[in-house]
Amino acid sequence: MAFQVGSAFLDACVLAVLSNEDMYGYVLTQKMREATDISESTLYPVLRRLQKSGYLTTYDQPFQGRNRRYYAITEEGKLKVEAYRRDWTDYKNRVDQVMFGGLQDE
C-alpha cells in the first residue's frame, strides 16, 4: 500500500476484525494483512495498547499441547469500533470528494 497507516487506523481495523469473532494472534495477523501490510511485531504492540485501554481482553485455550492466546473485544471496544466506523465513513467521503469528485463550493 502506498499510503502510510497510523495507529488509529490499525486500532480501528483490529477492533473491526475482532468485532466479528475472537482470534489468536496468527489468524488476526492474516486477517489484517487483507487490508494492510502488517507484521506480527507491529501487531502485538497494537494489541497490548488496545488491551491496556480496556478495548480488548485475552484468554488462553490449549491447542496441541500449547496454549493459544485469544483476543476478544470488550463492550467498551464495541463502542469504540462503532465510533471509528462513523469517523471512517466521514473521512472516506471527504477524501473521495477530493480524489474523485473535486471540492464542492459552499
The pLDDT tens digits for 45-85 are: 999 999 999 999 999 999 999 999 999 999 999 999 999 99
Give the span between the Cα atoms of 17 and 102, in whole angstroms. 32
Closest CA to 32 of 51, 12, 50: 12
Is residue 30, in this structure, part of any structural domain at all?
yes
CA distances from 57 to 14, 24, 76, 94, 106 (A): 13, 12, 11, 34, 45
Strand partners, 63: 66
CB 13 within 8 A of CB 85: no
Strand partners, 69: 60
CATH of the domain at 70: 1.10.10.10
Give residue 30's domain range.
Answer: 7-98
Mean pLDDT over each residue of the chain, to the nearest integer? 92
Is residue 2, in this structure, part of any structural domain at all?
no
Top pLDDT among 42 and 2 is at: 42
What pLDDT, on a 0 to 100 scale, did the predictor assign at position 106?
Answer: 46
What pLDDT, on a 0 to 100 scale, did the predictor assign at position 19?
Answer: 97
The count of structural domains within the chain is: 1
